[in-house]
Amino acid sequence: MNVSFRWVRDVAPGIGLGPDRAMERLALRGAPVEEVVDLAAGLKDIVIGRVLEAGPHPNADRLTLCRVAGPDGEVPVVCGAPVVRVGAYYPFAPVGAVLPGGFRIGRRKIRGSYSEGMLCSERELELGEDHAGIMLLEGQYEVGAPFAASVGLDDVRMDVEVTPNRGDLLSHVGIARELHPAGQDGIALPPFPGGRGEPAASFARGAAEAASAGCRIHIEDPELCSRYLGAVIRGVTVGPSPAWLADRLRAAGARPINNVVDATNYVMLELGQPLHAFDLEKLADATIVVGRARPGESLVTLDDETRAVTPDMLMIRDAVQPVAIAGVMGGRDSEVSEGSSDILLECALFEPRKVRATRRALAMSTDASYRFERGVDPVTMEAAVLRAVSLILATAGGTLDGEIIDAHPRPWVPAVVSLRPSRVSHVLGVDFAPEAIAELLVPLGYAVEVAGADRLDVTVPGHRTYDTLREVDLIEEVARTHGYDAFPEVMSAARSGTVPDHPLFQLEDRLRDLLAANGISEAQTPALGPKRHGDVALLNPMSQDEGHLRRDRLPGLLTHVERNMSRGVRDVRLFEIGTAFAPSDDGPPIESSRVAVALTGGRTPPHWSSGAEPFDIHDIAGVLGLIAREACPDAAVVPAGVRAGGRAGGRASAPAGGQAQRLFAPGRCYELVSGGGEVVGWGGQVRPEMMDLPPWAGAVVGAEVVLPAVPPRKPDVTARDLPDQPAVQRDLAFLVPVGTAAGEVLDAARMAAGRLLETADVFDVYEGEDLPPGTRSVALRLRFRARGRTLTDREVDKTCRRVVRTVKEKTGVEPRR
Amino acid sequence: MLPAARGFVIEDLKRLEADALREVRTARDPRELEEVRVRYLGRRDGMVSRCLRRLGGLSAEERPAAGAEANRVKGAVDKALQERGAALSLDGASDQDGPDLTLPARSGWQGTIHPVSRVIDDIWSIFRSLGFTRARGPEVDTEWYNFVALNTPLDHPAADEQDTLYLSPGLLLRSHTSPVQIRTMEQHSPPIRIVAPGMVYRRDTYDATHTPAFAQIEGLVVDEGVTFVDFKATLAEFARRFWGPGTRVRFRPSFFPFTEPSAEVDVKRIIVREDGREEETDWIEIMGAGMVDPAVLDNVGYDSERYTGWAFGMGPARVALLRHGVRDLRLFYENDMRFLGQFR
């Protein structure tokens, strides 16, 4: 809501607040000011000038040569306007002045004549679009006085943030009521310049139907329109509004159109009541029918759009067709324009939900619909229509014909809400006596009556009809008016809650710490992605690139690896914890929390002591194991494809199915398989063609793990005693042909080594020219230990011979001699 | 073998010992010391080793004495070498031949936790100390949980405040974490004392202050005798613990359909400028909050006459933005290693 502070002061004369205090008070009353514009900021150099002489420029047809009285006496001024009125006052920019656009006025010679200053147009002062002529100021002014203050433009415009429940604040009176210490009682609407005061009007009242001045109003649907006031004004002269009116509208951020339309906008901005003026001659049979649209109808609205309307929408119709969408926008063909003479002024009350549904269905929003949706004060309707009539009579002339027509099928009955002072204390934690409550509520317009030992009956004023319906609404009013700052801050003893801390948060926290400690940085990427990344589509996406919910997190994370590399960052280590979405046959998609990791570049930071090795597939196997230990301790990292009929410990022939595995190069892909045989994670080297990478890019490896929805408790570790005997270590090297997996050799060795084996590791893999072609040397380090006794060399040697034998039997691999 | 041979071996050993010990003493650095070791104790050509090999030529009577002497010499030289080695390596610290301690240290990569996650962690750890636990709910939810149960009729303008992304009619991406309030209360009885961090979605385009997906953290307290005074006190205490003891906290009336009275909470922090002077910031809006609307309690079957409560919602990304002086929210979601790497 754009508020002109000058306007607020005009409707609440005793307000006694400057703009700064007003802003603070509004903030503390629930309507903070988001932006303040000093409307006169660009006009500080502009003064009042008076034209003493004006005549044609000797050397140019289209220029006028004037003598202007300004702050420094009389100066010659060359003016581009063809008509300059002698004796009149204009905004004048003397030499040295800076216009709102930043242009500095200098002493210039124009076609042989000196010009020492400039008479300004509205556009040059950024006050309007009109640049046809310079801005003539009607009335008497002091020459040389500041222009802005002289014409009432020294104003600030505040953009007040009004919450959806406070439709009553969408007007200057509403804001003033909130600011004035006396509230509603502090409001006094000023008379209009040149006005004749409020017209002595009477009302032709009826229920669903009323008529006067040859005009009939009929409400077909009282549920959607409880009241419709119509005033017939004949003989208006439609033209530009006087400057004071145009300035006032501009100060409140509205655009002046013509004196009739401006009058309706003025009253809407002042009182919050949307009004509409019809050209009466365009209404068939001078009839207004408030009723539903007929099937197949359409209407061209004021904005020149053809709107197809449907029978669930409420229309204002004449005897033949719709002429306005009720509470939203008028029709183009019945609008008031230059030639209009007789008008019908509408002041109606429409049902908020219907206005909202209609304007949403039509994908539009107007100042009127915005107010109707939030609720318009039923009590000020008569005042609003009278104010608009007197303003039109003052600015456009004409006469009010007959009585004001008042079709009022559903009278408004003020709500009475019961309030228990005990409940106020129960919710707010501070005791309020009935008198104290009354003192807080009455200035807001509420009437408070004691109705029992612990009961106040509170009558709600019209402007709060829509948001004060229940006891708790009044409790809020008490708190708000008392001032939130006035409440003490005392923490009382709290009982523990019944909700256990969700274990998935705990798991996610551990993973975050673990991965960060391993040198990987946390990323956050949106769950929204393009179609190729998701199976669950959005109905109303912002763009196609964000039209689907991701089925996996790793592909999204990889795009961030790409982005880093496109910026020349070579070492990228990112992880992310986020939700993935899988479609379900009926109902919402199935969500799972995922952790995704992507690594590329050097495994260690560059250091003078050694060259950096790049990340490879074995790193991602390690990361999978790291995550698995926290997330799913019973799961194992296995080369992909093994479950699908591959040999135990063997190399994968191709990645097993699954969307994610298509990311990875064949034979360079792992799966994380749970104890139940379910694939709960995958990782590998990303196929280069899946990414858009610079030529210098090395391997990118990535992994993703599905976190359990409710992670089980991690089993407690049962500690083992430290060994009491020394271990015996033996190294055995094998010549493993290409195509035979080291894992098979290790598995066979483990099996053969039996109970005495403590650990078995691969400690060296070597390929070299001194080995038979097609083989590599895989060296195992076996560590043996027996409980309670020292192992003998004989025992260990015997076991090692068995290992060599078994490996050969099981895998055909020979020891390296 | 001649007796002279025996005498020669032992004499030889003694002379070697004296020479070796002298050379050990005078070695100036580990490299020279190593040369000494190789010269005397080297396995193949070391002089002591060669003497030892000559023992094989002695008679059975002579061999034990000579062998014992050889071993004694070997041990003595070895000990001297070790002592001198230790001394030299310490001396080396001040020597030009020692390691250059000004070279960059060796370390592994350091990972960082996302600044928005950190803010959530910090918020959570304060609420944990105030007796809260964490609850979660789905990111795709229904209009009932996202709006209706939260006292937000779909035909009310309040539903416009959050332009919502839909999957199908009635099914949406939650536009706030508040549905977790409803789901938690449906499954648990009072007292409720939870926070609920999570991602939420709005129909916003990316700009300096908006992203279509962002984190939010919700809080909910419901019990008997919970009042506006507790509400103010707890959130003010949180704010002072989060932003520092000198922080001022302001509660302003506002409107949320699911709380009444509703409030916006602002803080004014004390910041220390570069010149060391303390300065107060402007009021910064940090969260929306309020007393739980009785209609919300009724919707989950709680007795709203008996139970009262309060709730809050805040945006950790905005807090992170202010905390780190980040001017554009998008930086948090570009995941540039150079940006993330700053938050160690």
Instruction: Summarize pLDDT for A367-411 with one digit per residue, the tens.
Output: 999 999 999 999 999 999 999 999 999 999 999 999 999 999 999
Q: Region A578-585: what's the mean pLDDT? A: 93
Distances (CA, A) of B81 to A53, A102, B11, B73: 115, 87, 21, 12
Which pLDDT does position B255 carry in this prediction?
94
Spatial separation of the C-alpha atoms in residues B227 and A432, rounded to whole Å: 14
Interface residue A578 vs chain B (CB under 8 A): yes
- Is B261's CB within 8 Å of A479's CB? yes
Interface residue A475 vs chain B (CB under 8 A): yes
Task: Report residue A442's pLDDT band, with 50, 70 and 90 as the boundaries.
Answer: very high
Residue of B nearest to A588 (CA): B140
B contacts of A490 (beta carbons < 8 Å): 229-230, 233
Q: Where is A332: in which H helix or E strand?
A: none
Smallest Cβ distance to B157: which of A373, A518, A523? A373
**Secondary structure string (H, E, C) spanning B201-257:** ECCCCCCCCCCCEEEEEEEEEEEECCCHHHHHHHHHHHHHHHHCCCCEEEEEEEEEC
- Is A502's CB within 8 Å of B135's CB? yes
- Least Cα distance to B200 among B173, B163, B168 occurs for B173
Smallest Cβ distance to A591: which of B138, B167, B225? B138
Q: In what order do the strands lie in the sheet with B259-268?
A: B133-134, B192-201, B213-224, B307-314, B284-292, B259-268, B248-256
Residue of B nearest to A361 (CA): B155
Which pLDDT does position B4 carry in this prediction?
44
Smallest Cβ distance to B191: which of A497, A521, A537? A497
Q: Region A780-807: what's the mean pLDDT? A: 91
Contact predicate A38/A156, CB 8 Å: yes
Residue where the block lists tokens 């650990």:
A759
Task: Report residue A138's pLDDT band, with 50, 70 and 90 as the boundaries.
Answer: confident
Mean pLDDT over the full length of chain A: 91
Spatial separation of the C-alpha atoms in residues B197 and B69, rounded to whole Å: 79
A276 phi, psi to nearest 5 deg: -140, 140
Spatial separation of the C-alpha atoms in residues A580 and A556, rounded to whole Å: 11
**Per-position DSSP letters for A769-816, written without gaps between them:** TTSPTTEEEEEEEEEE--TTSPPPHHHHHHHHHHHHHHHHHHH-PEEP
Interval A534-575: pLDDT, tens: 999 999 998 888 999 999 999 999 999 999 999 999 999 999
Q: Indicate whether B64 pLDDT > 80.
A: no
Across A30-34, A217-221, A649-653, B317-321, least confident range: A649-653
Residue of B nearest to A353 (CA): B155
- Is B212's CB within 8 Å of A546's CB? yes
Structure tokens at A393: 């009579």
- Is B160's CB within 8 Å of A164's CB? yes
Q: Indicate whether A71 pLDDT > 90.
A: no
Which among B182, B337, B338, B343 is the top mutation candidate for probing chain A, defined by the most A β-carbons within 10 Å of its own β-carbon? B337
SS3 of residue A237 by DSSP: coil
Which pLDDT does position A73 carry in this prediction?
87
Task: Report residue A643's pLDDT band, with 50, 70 and 90 as the boundaries.
Answer: very low
Across A536-545, B45-54, B311-320, least confident range: B45-54
Smallest Cβ distance to B109: which of A504, A527, A604? A604
- Is B109's CB within 8 Å of A571's CB? yes
Q: Indicate whether A648 pLDDT > 60.
A: no
Smallest Cβ distance to A542: which of B114, B141, B212? B212
Contact predicate A205/A229, CB 8 Å: no
CB contact residues (below 8 A), chain B span 321-340, against chain A: 332-338, 340
Closest chain B C-alpha to A89 CA, distance in angstroms: 44
Residue of B nearest to A602 (CA): B109
Interface residue A544 vs chain B (CB under 8 A): no
Spatial separation of the C-alpha atoms in residues A591 and A478, rounded to whole Å: 44
Residue where the block lists tokens 């992304």:
B165
pTM: 0.82
Interface residue B56 vs chain A (CB under 8 A): no
Which pLDDT does position A652 carry in this prediction?
40
Which pLDDT does position B156 carry in this prediction?
78
Interval A162-182: pLDDT, tens: 998 999 999 999 999 999 988
Residue of B nearest to A567 (CA): B336
Question: What burial class does residue A675 get, using C-beta atoms within 10 Å of its C-beta: 0-12 exposed, 13-18 middle, 19+ buried?
Answer: exposed
- Least Cα distance to A575 among A557, A597, A559, A547 occurs for A597
Spatial separation of the C-alpha atoms in residues B127 and B238, rounded to whole Å: 7
Interval A10-25: pLDDT, tens: 999 988 888 899 999 9
- Is A540's CB within 8 Å of B203's CB? yes
Task: Report residue B94's pLDDT band, with 50, 70 and 90 as the boundaries.
Answer: low
Q: Indicate whether A458 pLDDT > 70.
A: yes
Q: Indicate whether B234 pLDDT > 50.
A: yes
B contacts of A550 (beta carbons < 8 Å): none
Spatial separation of the C-alpha atoms in residues A307 and B291, rounded to whole Å: 43
Which pLDDT does position A132 carry in this prediction?
63
Closest chain A C-alpha to B316 CA, distance in angstroms: 13
Interface residue A472 vs chain B (CB under 8 A): yes
Which pLDDT does position A58 carry in this prediction?
81
ipTM of the complex: 0.85
Structure tokens at A448: 């408070």
Selection from A145-149, A511-515, B323-327, B331-335 with the highest mean pLDDT: A511-515
Spatial separation of the C-alpha atoms in residues A50 and A87, rounded to whole Å: 6
Spatial separation of the C-alpha atoms in residues A5 and A10, rounded to whole Å: 9
A contacts of B263 (beta carbons < 8 Å): 484
A contacts of B201 (beta carbons < 8 Å): 527-528
Smallest Cβ distance to B260: which of A472, A539, A567? A472
Task: Report residue A644's pLDDT band, with 50, 70 and 90 as the boundaries.
Answer: very low
Q: Region A586-603: what's the mean pLDDT? A: 94
Residue A481 DSSP one-character state = H
Spatial separation of the C-alpha atoms in residues B199 and B217, rounded to whole Å: 9
Contact predicate A106/A144, CB 8 Å: no
Interface residue A488 vs chain B (CB under 8 A): yes
Categorise residue A388: left if φ over 0, alpha if ψ from -120 to 50, beta otherwise: alpha
Q: Indicate whether A157 pLDDT > 60.
A: yes
Distances (CA, A) of A204 to A160, A389, A402, B25: 38, 16, 9, 127
Q: Indicate whether A160 pLDDT > 50.
A: yes
Which pLDDT does position B136 carry in this prediction?
96
Selection from A599-603, B27-31, B268-272 with the highest mean pLDDT: A599-603
Distances (CA, A) of A123 to A15, A48, A84, A647, B181: 33, 17, 17, 84, 54
Residue of B nearest to A355 (CA): B155
Q: Indicate whether B73 pLDDT > 90.
A: no
Residue A301 DSSP one-character state = B
Task: Report residue B96's pLDDT band, with 50, 70 and 90 as the boundaries.
Answer: low
Contact predicate B108/A605, CB 8 Å: yes
